Structure 1
């Protein structure tokens, strides 16, 4: 069964009606499986992971394989209430495909469908991945050994839609496409007391204020101005009432950097600041980090040069070289372990990614499929690794 553009749009719209949060993609998994089982299965092998039950892998066996090429598309949605007024709007209250993973899955299905009808030279491994938005589904799958044996991957490719690029434009760059992200949680323990007797207490709010102020100088005074990093503390909890000095405080924030070295440098500086404040305020400060699989998406130089050259030199494709973004993506973990390239697909939405009015143009679906099918065929025709 060769899918038409209209059928692909209907698939995308159905996926849009059934958005599910990370690790809860039960209906999405079932629907993907239903669609794939209608394809010509002569050269297909389906693999599921009992420990990650919403994940789905599909192997397309090549006619003369020299390598296994992987293609990843993420499945989960966001806790956002849709405001688009569509007749195919989300039927799951408070959950929406506000990041366009319904587009990602549909493009992946289109590429898989093509190669189910036209046997590739090399083996292709399609990975429909749960939990990109949270819980590091890519890392979980890798750590479970998903990409071993017949399903091993030599090169990984994947896209992310882009609301700012015109519909169907392919965007990419060598180096970092997305930043890596790390959650940071800070607990400060001072001593509570009466507001009228500050000398008998140790004010955690004052300590927290000093901590935040000093941490914000890491970017402006410890990092080369031409390099990038972000530290944001978006949540602070302290105190119980206005006339009691807070004995403890908790800060929650995020670190972002374009390289893993940058992230680790920022982490170290935060620890050093915490140690200094412990001494100067005679308090206890604990700092916890959680990066999971959200490493920087650092595109492999050789693979990405080949990818960009193909896209630039194909007259049927609109290509733009893009700047790095400070948004995060757990595809970074996979291509930290396996050489790979991530690229943008323009969808020209009036609403931004993660917004309640995000509305991608569906004409991007076929353009994304055609670009990637062409590239994969080109890649498989090459003799070199």
Structure 2
């Protein structure tokens, strides 16, 4: 089995080769190399046709009555690393700034453990590309990756958290992460001279009015007990200060802890767009894209058992958390397969997606030990209705 120093070496090797969504070929090759070093007796490795960089690993149980799934995401971010480490990214402009290198290392450690300690039930590990964008979980599901013998009865995943102490596990019943929707809004009016605004139709003004009215939707049309956020982080308009622009484009993100809230928000935003088009005598085109980024809704049965197990067996390494507005495409898989997502503490002063993000590698071994312990516990359930 991998020693702690070997696991750290694996994490650093992965950190050097960050790749964007659906481009994780070098990452996949490294994973395959490490998998080949493990006991292959009860292991099957397969790929997903149509999702080239994904990997599925199944470990057969001694007396399997169900299949337990575990997912680890593979992709990185278009971030220029500024850590200064000797194992920093060697792919220019890319970085594992969200800790997926930690996620992958923990999954490899779990596979290594169960390859030497054959589980009772079947275990299915899904190395998923394209979490940060392009919803790899949804793609895999729609391609039939989880059908037949590869269908897990339940599924689990973690996400590292720099705000938690090293090795701390944190979870909650219900929604852990928000669902997210990308929104693009195009405004089309009429160009003109700054000195003659009456002969033009200024789309900076229209776009500005749109943003302000959307914030009013959040404040006055959404139940304050149903959290939602609308952020427009990019506005593109105009070419020079003394020309009124006839075109503007807003790009933003919507977030909500419940899918119904997101759908209500989208409906009201479309109404705002229609009103702006009428009031400013212009065209307004709105595009929403949610894909697989549904709210991460932890299943009641599995999550109740996870929390009870942690509170009983690892009370010093566990706490209940509040929901977060971060997005995760594991929400799509949880909408199809019951399971649980939880935080892993990696204790860092720098936030996720930061150019200096440096998760503590000391979290890797405790994570493997705790998750292996929990998965083994899930194989020992006696009466389905009592868990």
Corresponding position of 1:223: 222
Corresponding position of 2:347: 348
* Distance (Å, rounded) in 2 between the aligned partners of 1:178 and 1:212: 25
The CA deviation at 1:316 is: 6.8
Secondary structure of the 1:59 match is strand
* Distance (Å, rounded) in 2 between the aligned partners of 1:316 and 1:377: 18
The CA deviation at 1:222 is: 1.2
The CA deviation at 1:138 is: 0.9
* Distance (Å, rounded) in 2 between the aligned partners of 1:356 and 1:193: 41
Contact 2:346/2:359, CA 8 A, preserved across alignment: yes
Q: Residues 317, 58 of structure 1: CA spacing in aligned structure 2 closer, same or farther, 3 A cutoff?
A: farther
Secondary structure of the 1:327 match is strand
* Distance (Å, rounded) in 2 between the aligned partners of 1:158 and 1:305: 15
Contact 1:170/1:317, CA 8 A, preserved across alignment: no
Secondary structure of the 1:369 match is helix
* Distance (Å, rounded) in 1 between the aligned partners of 2:244 and 2:16: 50
The CA deviation at 1:368 is: 0.5
The CA deviation at 1:196 is: 2.9
The CA deviation at 1:194 is: 2.8
* Distance (Å, rounded) in 1 between the aligned partners of 2:242 and 2:88: 49
Q: Residues 247, 14 of structure 1: CA spacing in aligned structure 2 closer, same or farther, 3 A cutoff?
A: same
Query: Once superposed, which parts of structure 1, at least 4 consecutive aligned residues long, lie more than 6 Å away?
Result: none
Q: TM-score, normalised by structure 1?
A: 0.97
Deviations 1:81-123 (A, max 9, x none): 2222222222222211111111100100111111111111111
The CA deviation at 1:239 is: 2.1
Point out where structure 2 has 5 or more consecutive residues left out of the alignment: none
Contact 1:47/1:58, CA 8 A, preserved across alignment: yes
Corresponding position of 1:331: 330
Residue 18, structure 1, aligned to residue 17, structure 2:
yes
Residue 123, structure 1, aligned to residue 125, structure 2:
no
The CA deviation at 1:227 is: 2.4
* Distance (Å, rounded) in 2 between the aligned partners of 1:112 and 1:237: 47
Within a 5 Å distance, the mapping from 1:1-385 to structure 2 comes to 2-315=1-314, 318-385=317-384
Deviations 1:315-367 (A, max 9, x none): 47510111111111111111111111000110101211111111111111011
Contact 2:226/2:258, CA 8 A, preserved across alignment: no
* Root mean square deviation, CA, Å: 1.3
Contact 1:298/1:335, CA 8 A, preserved across alignment: yes
Deviations 1:21-59 (A, max 9, x none): 111111110010111111111111111023111100001
* Distance (Å, rounded) in 2 between the aligned partners of 1:111 and 1:166: 21
The CA deviation at 1:199 is: 2.4
Q: How many residues align?
A: 384
Contact 2:39/2:116, CA 8 A, preserved across alignment: yes
Secondary structure of the 1:40 match is coil
Contact 1:317/1:371, CA 8 A, preserved across alignment: no
The CA deviation at 1:198 is: 2.4
Q: Which moved more, 1:286-295 or 1:192-201?
A: 192-201
* Distance (Å, rounded) in 1 between the aligned partners of 2:323 and 2:233: 23
The CA deviation at 1:371 is: 0.7
Q: TM-score, normalised by structure 2?
A: 0.96
* Distance (Å, rounded) in 2 between the aligned partners of 1:111 and 1:61: 14
* Distance (Å, rounded) in 1 between the aligned partners of 2:319 and 2:174: 15
